[in-house]
Structure 1
Amino acid sequence: MKLAIIAFTRSGSMFAKRIRDVYEQKGNACVCCCKGKDAAGWGLPILDSSLKEWAGEMFRECDGLLFIGAAGIAVRTIAPFIVSKASDPAVLVMDEQGHFVISLLSGHLGGANGLAREIAALVGAVPVITTATDAGGRFSVDDFARRENMYLDSLPLAKEVAADILEQRTIGLYSDFEVAGPIPPELSIQKKDGLGISISVDETYDPFPRTLHLVPRIAVLGIGCKKGTPKEKIQELVEQVLRQNQLSGHAIAKVASIDLKKEEPGLVEFCRQWDLPFLVYSAEELSEVECDGGFSESSFVRQITGVGNVCERSALRAAGRKKLFQRKVARDGVTVAIALGEYTVNFG
């Protein structure tokens, strides 16, 4: 997580430094500064640009913004940059005395509610959460989707789910995955009519007349290709394999290959356009991978790369599994295999 903090008084700067130090110790990136000489202290840099410029840059780069000062300043500053609850970062406000931490924007999908609780616990403040489901202690589907790293396919349906829950109407639940622990009382696996939630990597299956799809991001694409293969050829085969397996593109978490392909232009461009992390492994690392049922080996590939199969081995290595969801498919100098990371639904 990357958090941006700005303070407007010397007292606020003290809290900013305290929060920054804790979050950095946890391995998070934290951009921290103060506004004006009156707020200087505790080793924080003074902001050398306008507040609006700072906010615009942080909106693009960070997962969360914390204003330590008046809520009005935060509201006026972020207003030009608000786009959608699906993409806006978490925005919080804390008073300079550390009494309250307010979840101001993107409480659920952006994680502001959870972040407000974390920071409040850290400084001994009261978290102020105003979203209806949280205020009523009810299940929140968008907060659940964010926490479980799922793609939520319809914000309008998510709003309807929240509205029905607040009206004490039960929502149906379908899951392709094992559910660990109790299911929230607002949901029922017995209910088959009306509005329901589907947890699956298949976005085309509608178990309810009106289905809100939650897609866990657990799929790993293992890809191999000939040198100079264009991005379009890679994308064509990936899309073909996804369709054949009824696997949503939103389920893809990462792409993996051999380190010989770490700068392969077509593969790098594919990952960039699909906004996917690209992991590479050495031939030695890939040779250590095991697969239930064995691999589709090629002596030619072994001669070139040092292992007899790149796509299957890299998919399993990145997923931490021994079982393939889709074995090697080859076309036009491209090979694709898919592995699914281990996943269990947890409402806790």
Structure 2
Amino acid sequence: MTCAYIAFTARGLALAQQLAAACPGSVARGGADGVRLTDWTAAQFAQSDALIFVGAAGIAVRAIAPHCRSKAADPAVVVLDEGGQFAIPLLSGHLGGANELAQRLAAVCHAVPVITTATDGRGVFAVDEWAKRQNCAVAEPERIRCVSGALLAGQSVCYAADWAVSGTPPAGVEPAAAADRADFALTLTPTGEALHLIPRIAVLGVGCKRGTTAEKLETAFAAFCAEHHFAPQGIVRAASIDLKKDEPGLAAFCRAHGWEMDFYTAAALRTAKGRFTSSGFVQSITGVDNVCERAAVLAADGVLFIPKWARDGVTLAVALAPFAPDWRWKNDEP
């Protein structure tokens, strides 16, 4: 987690430095050395995972207000008073990790963590915290309240999962009689009105003609996801043959999605395990019978999930890394 601290007094600065020694991050003093709070907040909201204000809560609230977007996108925001008595998560308590961070910071300076989210206060299963613990993206953050609201009202909720979830489900959580009856679902192919939790375990294998633009790749990718009902949030990186290392369109396409890329030689691609869609034409050009499927499998160190799909000179495939979800959702659980 990338942290950024800001304090406004000498005493607060000393506390910020103490906290940063335990939870590393940059430290600034507002109003000093040309640091303007508005500029600092805008920059850190864009580049840091967590903003820690050492000072009055009102200062933090006014500073972050113009930048708040959604619980799925906002960084964690925590406030500590300059005396180190209280640590208060203000924003992104579960998905952004602010509740956990507040507890960690409180332990450093012996403060009281002030956790105000209802599920934490009542000891109720928090589906968004579980999603974070299981390395899942939340496809529809606005639906979290439906699941949490039902549990807080003493009702049961039903789940569906495309993987076996080990352990015992939390109180109030039961398997759905059918996938379309689930309140939340663990899946890479979301359908229906459930809250969909998307495991971030997928690798996109890419093949393309020389000179393919980022726009053409984007159009192909959108069609690929639509045809397979595939959630793009599940992709963590992309992969291809080393012949594509210098393709500007491919680089721009991956950069726009925030994906790193893996490139493999033809010899390395031939070592991939599994059954792949063979093409004599691809073999004649690249030295290997398939690029997108083999590259995805190697980069994922897993299995093919969606086989080769082709359109307008672009080939795509998806492979999945091993995934073993369990029912742990609190960070103090073993």
Bin for the TM-score computed over the shorter chain: 0.7 to 0.9
Question: How far apart are residue 53 of structure 1 and its match?
Answer: 1.4
Partner residue of 2:248?
265
Matching residue within 29, 32, 37 for 2:27: 32
The answer to whether the 8 A contact 1:5-1:65 is kept is yes
The answer to whether the 8 A contact 2:205-2:239 is kept is yes
Partner residue of 1:197?
184
Residue 30 of structure 2 aligns to which amino acid in structure 1? Answer: K
Partner residue of 2:15?
15
Partner residue of 2:260?
278
Unaligned runs of 5+ in 1: 25-29, 37-45
Identity across matched positions, percent: 42
Question: How far apart are residue 114 of structure 1 and its match?
Answer: 1.5
Question: How far apart are residue 79 of structure 1 and its match?
Answer: 2.1
Unaligned runs of 5+ in 2: 329-334
Matching residue within 300, 309, 322 for 1:329: 309
Could you tell me how far apart the structure 1 residues matched to 2:110 and 2:288 are?
55
The answer to whether the 8 A contact 1:161-1:195 is kept is no
Could you tell me how far apart the structure 2 residues matched to 1:327 and 1:81 are?
40
Residue 35 of structure 1 aligns to which amino acid in structure 2? Answer: G
Q: Which moved more, 1:53-62 or 1:243-252?
A: 243-252
In the alignment, is residue 248 of structure 1 matched against residue 231 of structure 2?
Answer: yes
Question: How far apart are residue 317 of structure 1 and its match?
Answer: 2.0
SS for the counterpart of 2:194 is strand
Residue 16 of structure 2 aligns to which amino acid in structure 1? Answer: A
The answer to whether the 8 A contact 2:266-2:286 is kept is no
Question: How far apart are residue 48 of structure 1 and its match?
Answer: 1.6
Could you tell me how far apart the structure 2 residues matched to 1:88 and 1:75 are?
14
Residue 92 of structure 1 aligns to which amino acid in structure 2? Answer: V
Partner residue of 2:218?
235
Aligned residues: CA RMSD: 2.5
Q: Which moved more, 1:325-334 or 1:89-98?
A: 325-334
Could you tell me how far apart the structure 1 residues matched to 2:150 and 2:6 are?
38
SS for the counterpart of 1:58 is helix
Could you tell me how far apart the structure 2 residues matched to 1:285 and 1:178 are?
35
Could you tell me how far apart the structure 2 residues matched to 1:147 and 1:55 are?
27
Could you tell me how far apart the structure 2 residues matched to 1:64 and 1:134 are?
20
Partner residue of 1:60?
46
Matching residue within 100, 107, 112 for 2:98: 112
Partner residue of 2:273?
291
Count of residues in correspondence between the two structures: 327
Counterparts of residues 151-170 of structure 1 (less than 5 Å): 151-170=137-156
Question: How far apart are residue 301 of structure 1 and its match?
Answer: 4.4
In the alignment, is residue 344 of structure 1 matched against residue 330 of structure 2?
Answer: no
User: Please, what TM-score do these two structures have when normalized by structure 2?
Assistant: 0.88
SS for the counterpart of 1:325 is strand
Could you tell me how far apart the structure 2 residues matched to 1:331 and 1:156 are?
34
The answer to whether the 8 A contact 2:159-2:182 is kept is no
Query: 1:238-289 deviations in whole A, cap 9, x for unaligned?
Result: 334334433222322222123332331221232234x231312241783474
**Cα pair distance change 1:171/1:59, threshold 3 Å:** same
SS for the counterpart of 1:198 is strand
Residue 346 of structure 1 aligns to which amino acid in structure 2? Answer: D
Query: 1:198-227 deviations in whole A, cap 9, x for unaligned?
Result: 1111112x4xxx522222222211001121
User: Please, what TM-score do these two structures have when normalized by structure 1?
Assistant: 0.84
Partner residue of 1:40?
none
SS for the counterpart of 1:346 is coil
Matching residue within 46, 57, 70 for 2:56: 70
Could you tell me how far apart the structure 2 residues matched to 1:83 and 1:239 are?
24
Could you tell me how far apart the structure 2 residues matched to 1:61 and 1:49 are?
16
**Cα pair distance change 1:223/1:2, threshold 3 Å:** same
Partner residue of 2:331?
none
Residue 7 of structure 2 aligns to which amino acid in structure 1? Answer: A
Could you tell me how far apart the structure 1 residues matched to 2:201 and 2:12 are?
40
Residue 6 of structure 2 aligns to which amino acid in structure 1? Answer: I
Query: 1:69-113 deviations in whole A, cap 9, x for unaligned?
Result: 221221222222223223221110112232221111121222211
Partner residue of 1:124?
110
Question: How far apart are residue 63 of structure 1 and its match?
Answer: 1.4
Question: How far apart are residue 135 of structure 1 and its match?
Answer: 0.8
